[in-house]
Amino acid sequence: DSGVTQTPKHLITATGQRVTLRCSPRSGDLSVYWYQQSLDQGLQFLIQYYNGEERAKGNILERFSAQQFPDLHSELNLSSLELGDSALYFCASSVGGPGQGRNTIYFGEGSWLTVV
């Protein structure tokens, strides 16, 4: 158990709909990362937050948005869903942002999204 909690574990929804994926980082971790992994694909970095602020953006679609709340949990919002958005969405967390030492990231178990 990495200590990173993601909900829901599985989600099936229709095209055009909107879903929200939730992530609670490990206790003490200030950074949260979101990754997308399609079937048999590598990890696509979506976005990173540190202590509530957006720190880095990757290949995140405009239909997707995220935020990190004062209690450090994070949500990834996916809207106008398409079939191609079906994937495993990982949340990961690490201790620190800029100026910190080790920044090992620990992954949650992922949220399986199926768009039908």
Partner 1 sequence: AQTVTQSQPEMSVQEAETVTLSCTYDTSESNYYLFWYKQPPSRQMILVIRQEAYKQQNATENRFSVNFQKAAKSFSLKISDSQLGDTAMYFCAFIAYTSGTYKYIFGTGTRLKVLA
- Residue 84 backbone zone (phi > 0: left; psi -120 to 50: alpha; other: beta): alpha
Contact with partner 1 (CB under 8 A) among 19, 32, 33, 36: 33
Contact with partner 1 (CB under 8 A) among 15, 16, 17, 56: 56
Q: Does 43 bind partner 1 (CB under 8 A)?
A: yes
Q: Does 48 bind partner 1 (CB under 8 A)?
A: yes
Which residues within the stretch 13-32 sit at the binding site for partner 1 (CB under 8 A)? 31
Q: Does 61 bind partner 1 (CB under 8 A)?
A: no
Q: Does 52 bind partner 1 (CB under 8 A)?
A: no
The residues of the shown chain that bind partner 1, judged by CB under 8 A, are 2, 31, 33, 37, 42-43, 45, 48, 50, 55-56, 88, 90, 92, 94, 97-98, 102-107, 109-110
